[in-house]
């Protein structure tokens, strides 16, 4: 995800982290949307977002060797069964999103009109959505003010690769 740095005023950041550049908050959000990284209650609604669907295990945000936390039994059982049907994924829209945004939880549909998941957050032509893994290679769309906006989902490169059989 890059670096967050607290430095003395006037410090030369390229000396501290060679090859780095200073970005603004929009750069940061674009980068995390491209990587499929959730942040805060908009991306991880309390009582709705599940840790494994939100990729927290991939980011070392869940311990399977210690307890106790709310939802630990369900999370551990799901993890050990190995069946996770939905995940937060980066999405790319065919056209930039409206400036006033899209309602959180807006339904994402397959070409045939079947529900494929829910929009969580985004800006410009990028965002993140909770999608059924079975639908991520299909043409998807989001209904925005009566218009169908096409989108594509992708699996981030940083995700663990499936084991070869």
Q: What is the pLDDT of residue 165?
A: 58
Cα torsion at 31, 109, 118, 122 (round to 10°)?
A: 30
For the full predicted model, state whether its pTM sits above 0.85. Answer: no
Q: What is the pLDDT of residue 97?
A: 86
Q: What is the pLDDT of residue 109?
A: 96
Q: What is the pLDDT of residue 121?
A: 92
Q: What is the pLDDT of residue 78?
A: 72
Length of the chain: 165
Listed in sequence order, the DSSP H helices in the chain are 13-16, 25-35, 40-43, 72-81
Q: What is the pLDDT of residue 152?
A: 96
Chunk the chain into consecutive blocks of 10 residues (it has 165) and report each block's average pLDDT, rounded to whole numbers. Answer: 79 84 86 93 87 86 73 71 87 89 88 94 93 95 87 93 69
Q: Report the distance separating Cα 14 and Cα 150, nearest Å.
A: 39
Q: What is the pLDDT of residue 11?
A: 87
Q: Report the distance separating Cα 39 and Cα 35, nearest Å.
A: 12
């Amino acid at each position: 995800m890059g670096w967050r740095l607290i430095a003395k005023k006037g410090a030369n950041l390229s000396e501290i982290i060679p090859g780095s550049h200073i970005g603004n908050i929009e750069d940061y959000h674009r980068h995390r949307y491209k990587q499929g990284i959730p942040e805060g209650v908009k991306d991880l609604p309390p009582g709705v977002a599940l840790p494994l669907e939100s990729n927290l295990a991939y980011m070392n945000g869940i311990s399977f060797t210690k307890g106790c936390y709310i939802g630990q039994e369900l999370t551990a059982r799901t993890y050990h069964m190995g069946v996770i049907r939905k995940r937060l994924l980066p999405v790319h829209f065919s056209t930039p999103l409206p400036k006033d945004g899209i309602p959180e939880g807006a339904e994402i549909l397959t070409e045939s009109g079947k529900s494929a998941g829910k929009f969580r957050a985004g800006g410009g032509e990028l965002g993140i959505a909770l999608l059924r893994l079975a639908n991520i290679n299909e043409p998807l769309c989001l209904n925005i003010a009566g218009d169908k906006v096409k989108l594509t989902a992708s699996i981030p490169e940083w995700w663990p690769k499936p084991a070869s059989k």
